[in-house]
Structure 1
């Protein structure tokens, strides 16, 4: 019953995206989420299946497209989503947060082809809310880069730590829980001033999980920057999961008041990028900070030492950013412009300059994710989401000048409370050491101390320009604005007298340049060319003609249907299609009995006609082979997936045939023994053959995957877990002396046992 609310169409917008090993450890999948819908996509080559493209011809220059392989509907709207690699797991898990403070850890289940819940966490107790009745904060989840733990920011004032097990199963075989007991850290226990958290992120390159918290202890707003500005700060906390202690190892105060997010930088640079509305700042615990102003507003809205970014005037409000390399990131602005940011470093890996290059214009981005080699996904809830392929356009050389002369005077207009700091304006009694300012107030920096690094020389850096190309898109009909209904402009006469009225919904959707008009129909509405009655017809099929026609006609009519086969109660009628539809009086088709199935096989070279007790193979309209079936009852169901044909009889017997060609090129159907997939109890009631083009159900790596993946084994090596699993299996069971037999004769080599198990996770 839907007396209150009914969802007439699932959500099509994309709010969260992540690239992970969702099905197996062989290849990555793109997981997108919007509202309560999760969709999983794979990147497959965008080639025509009829083009006969050979595997060696499919390389990295081939464009990819998105193929939806799974779709899940949840019971609540997803607030945040991350992926995690759990210990001894064949595939990654998803961390999903829901309002107000609920977390689910789910994983793809090979047996049910659905999501299974690994862990549920509920943190909505009254002591967690701290008196809030209607909390508005979004529960943010973040995962450590080395998958040691995850954190949840609950109600903006509680950090919940979810540790993950990293030990070997040999050490404790009885305890197989992947998620250990969680614990809560009140943010005031970290720092008494820690409040109004803007963003949290895990940093790269630390021995223990290190959490960066960007916050604003005392809020201000643009009207009061003359009195109070630079009110934001950041603190870095080391999480000792075993001891449950969390010391502060690094902090920076007096950041611009309009900080919006933090973006961790991968090794070897490390550190983090702080994005503000009008500036971009790079912070690192071991080197001086560096920042640039991106427009004229930053010159008056902050006292943080910033350089002018020549040739770039942008605003980072509402921007989304993702790294495509260790020192290169793609920034999507609120207007849809795409910029490539390059972090230019000197000889000691100190960031000395930012380089911005406008590369393209795209949709208004809600989330951004790098998926696969040289592919970027832009998710949007205001327009169609895009899959982009980026490639190197050109490379140029740039020179970073040596460090500027030391600055002897540092002034600060005001502190976080709005009062002028007299100590900074007065002459210093002694020189401050490098450690005195590195972990506190960046306004106290005196570059005299930087002489310990020696004289910096000019450094040559390489600037890479990228070109972006749209490969695929995901349709989005939201957000819907005005809506109206009406009759279609054209409707065939066959649909005029239907019982239910045929109406359309017209909505306005999108925003700004991504706005559109959407026309929603309840079903497919075909444009009927002609209609004629077929009395007594029970089923019908269309088949492509054989290869006996001349080359010119074959080229023109390669994909056109040549015959229309109609099955009646006691006979079969065969019609030849062309400019006119004519009945064939004499042909190789069996017409004296009903037809159970008809289709093409052998890459459309031959036609298969299945009757109750026989299978006929035809080339064009000439009969070439008849296979008489020795079965007890009639054939009732047939399924074809070239070159395989499977038949099901009324008594539940399964017959399996395969198409093969002789040395002379003659096509033949060969009976094969039925594989003993499972005990036939209860009896089989339905069969269906499926050609797995996306390797969802594969148990081993296909040739196409080997050609496309190339060096993706390096990605598996980064997890640092695969070899450990193989060693433990050998320790427990020893070396198996042969391949395991799967699916009635399909052999899995011993050397690929671990890899095959991961492939099975892809579908099974």
Structure 2
């Protein structure tokens, strides 16, 4: 075999994007029944085993490599672990576990580097038979939604969205180069996704509801079948029209009836020589996204210092932190 133009000698190994989601199975498939506690066990020195909840898949990307792992856990014998000095180990996330390992489920080499990744969920109910989907973003403005297929035991694209070419050239506003690629984030309840492209263009991807549209076409949801999250439609929000300039980051927050997107942007960039008299140049603005009416009113905003670069939601509260 000859390689006239290009040959990849060493594939990427450094992890660039990481997310967790129920890709290969639904939460109800993982649900374990807790054995009832017998009367004789109440006086036992052995502490009751804590129920291990559903553990999602681990999804990672490295360059153009996409991998999905299954987390295999190993429970301990239930005996309380003693520390030096007689202290007992407190209850935490790893309580009841003696170890865990990763099992590779899928490995793909894509035809482009993954710029950003998000997991589109269909809710937070552990008894749901719904699966999550993976949303990948590529240069310059390409989005792909992947779902797991049981028949092939692999991933396939449920929808692809491209905002390039002559029909979308106006989104660039005369520019040809951008500092970074597209950035994609998902609503915690899976109602929509947001993708920031070309610096100031926000793409809203509306999720199809259970039993409607594209979801459950092959197997109706009423029969209790397992179906993944899918995208129903999309539209564009021009952030420049909302007087937002130099967008740094955005995220979705928890606890609202409608999806709320919080955007971090800088109204007027500053530098070291201007910090003494102009340092509160960044602003955090929250938009309430109505995917049905395609409206996005601003519900609150706050002014922050110029050194803010990232937003971090704080579930389950309606807070958002920045760093």
With normalisation by structure 2, the TM-score equals 0.75
Residue 86 of structure 1 contacts residue 178 of structure 1 at CA under 8 Å; is this kept in 2? no
* Cα distance in 1 between the residues matched to 2:170 and 2:309: 28
Change (3 A) 1:209 1:68: same
SS at match of 1:128: helix
Q: Quick one: distance in 1 between partners of 2:187 and 2:121? A: 10
Residue 71 of structure 2 aligns to a residue whose secondary structure is strand
CA positional deviation for 1:135 = 2.4
Q: Are positions 1:106 and 2:146 aligned together?
A: yes
2:321 corresponding residue in structure 1: 273
CA distance in structure 1 between the aligned counterparts of 2:212 and 2:237, rounded to whole angstroms: 29
> Is 1:77 aligned to 2:113, yes or no?
yes
List gaps (5 residues or longer) in structure 2: 31-54, 80-94, 221-228
CA distance in 2, matches of 1:10, 1:46: 31
Query: Which structure 1 residue ranges, 5 or more long, are not aligned?
Result: 48-52, 276-764
RMSD: 2.8
Q: Deviations over 1:228-278 (max 9, x none)?
A: 21111111000111111110000112x1111111111112x3211111xxx
Confirm or deny that 1:40 pairs with 2:92.
Answer: no
| Cα shift at 1:40 | 1.6
Q: Which residue of 2 aligns with 1:158?
A: 201
* 2:230 corresponding residue in structure 1: 178
Q: Report the 3-state secondary structure (helix = DSSP H, G, I; strand = E; otherwise coil) of the residue aligned with 2:277.
A: coil
Deviation at 1:187, TM superposition (A): 0.3
Alignment size in residue pairs: 264
Pairs within 5 Å for 1:639-678: none
Q: How far apart are 1:72 and its partner, in Å?
A: 1.3
- In structure 2, what is the Cα distance between the partners aligned to 1:178 and 1:89? 14
Distance 1:231 1:154 in 2: 22
Match of 2:43 in 1: none
1:11 is aligned to 2:12 = yes
Report the CA distance between 1:70 and its aligned residue: 2.0
* Residues in 2 aligned to 1:61 and 1:167: alpha-carbon distance in whole angstroms: 35
How far, CA to CA, are the matches of 1:54 and 1:266 in structure 2? 32
Give the number of the structure with larger relative contact order, counting CA–CA contacts within 8 Å between residues 6 or more apart.
2
Q: Does 1:247 align with 2:297?
A: yes
Is the aligned partner of 1:29 residue 2:57?
A: yes
Rg larger in structure: 1
Helix, strand or coil at the partner of 1:63:
strand
Residue 257 (1) aligns with residue 306 (2): yes
- Residue 63 of structure 1 deviates from its aligned partner by 1.4
Match of 2:159 among 101, 119, 123: 119
CA contact (8 A) 2:78 2:96 kept: no
Q: 2:88 — aligned with what?
A: none
CA–CA distance in structure 1, aligned partners of residues 313 and 198 of structure 2: 23
Q: How do residues 88-99 of structure 1 correspond to structure 2 at under 5 angstroms?
A: 90-99=130-139
Kindly state the Cα deviation for residue 215 of structure 1 after the two structures are TM-superposed. 0.5
Q: Contact 2:121 / 2:188 at 8 angstroms: preserved in 1?
A: no
Match of 2:21 in 1: 20
SS at 1:127 equivalent: helix
Change (3 A) 1:3 1:46: farther
In structure 2, the CA distance between the partners of 1:55 and 1:231, relative to structure 1 (3 Å rule), is closer
Task: Provide the secondary structure at the position in 1 that maps to 2:231.
Answer: coil
Aligned mates of 1:214, 1:105 — CA distance in 2: 26
Find out whether 1:238 has 2:288 as its counterpart.
Answer: yes
Q: Which residue pairs with 1:341 in the alignment?
A: none
Q: Deviations over 1:274-330 (max 9, x none)?
A: 11xxxxxxxxxxxxxxxxxxxxxxxxxxxxxxxxxxxxxxxxxxxxxxxxxxxxxxx
Q: Which residue of 2 aligns with 1:143?
A: 186
How far is 1:137 from its partner? Answer: 2.6
Residue equivalent to 1:226: 276
CA distance in 2, matches of 1:62, 1:2: 48
- Cα separation, 1, equivalents of 2:233 and 2:184: 16
Q: Deviations over 1:556-583 (max 9, x none)?
A: xxxxxxxxxxxxxxxxxxxxxxxxxxxx
SS of alignment partner, residue 131 of structure 2 = coil
Q: Summarize deviations over 1:170-213 as a string: whole Å, max 9, x none.
A: 9x987999322210010023x22x11001100011111000000
The question of whether the paired residues in 1 share the 8 Å contact of 2:289 and 2:297 is answered with yes
Give distance in 2, aligned partners of 1:107 and 1:173.
13
Q: Distance between the aligned counterparts of 1:3 and 1:169, measured in 2?
A: 48
Match runs of 1:624-639 below 5 Å:
none
Aligned counterparts of 1:218 and 1:98: Cα–Cα separation in 2: 29
State how 1:168-567 maps to structure 2 within 5 Å: 168-169=211-212, 178-189=230-241, 191-192=242-243, 194-253=244-303, 255-267=304-316, 269-275=317-323
1:69 deviation in Å? Answer: 2.6
Cα separation, 1, equivalents of 2:16 and 2:4? 29
Which residue matches 1:731? none
Alpha-carbon distance change, 224 to 46 in structure 1, aligned in 2, over 3 angstroms: same
Call closer, same or farther: CA 1:173–1:215 in 2, change over 3 Å. closer
Give CA-to-partner distance per residue, 1:319-365, whole Å, 9 cap, x none.
Answer: xxxxxxxxxxxxxxxxxxxxxxxxxxxxxxxxxxxxxxxxxxxxxxx
TM-score for both structures, normalised by structure 1: 0.33
| Alpha-carbon distance, 1:136 to partner | 2.7
Q: Are the counterparts in 1 of residues 249 and 311 from structure 2 also a CA contact under 8 Å?
A: yes
Alpha-carbon distance in structure 2 between the residues aligned to 1:203 and 1:41: 27
2: CA distance, partners of 1:146 / 1:54? 36
Deviation by residue 1:719-752 (Cα, 9 ceiling, x = unmatched): xxxxxxxxxxxxxxxxxxxxxxxxxxxxxxxxxx
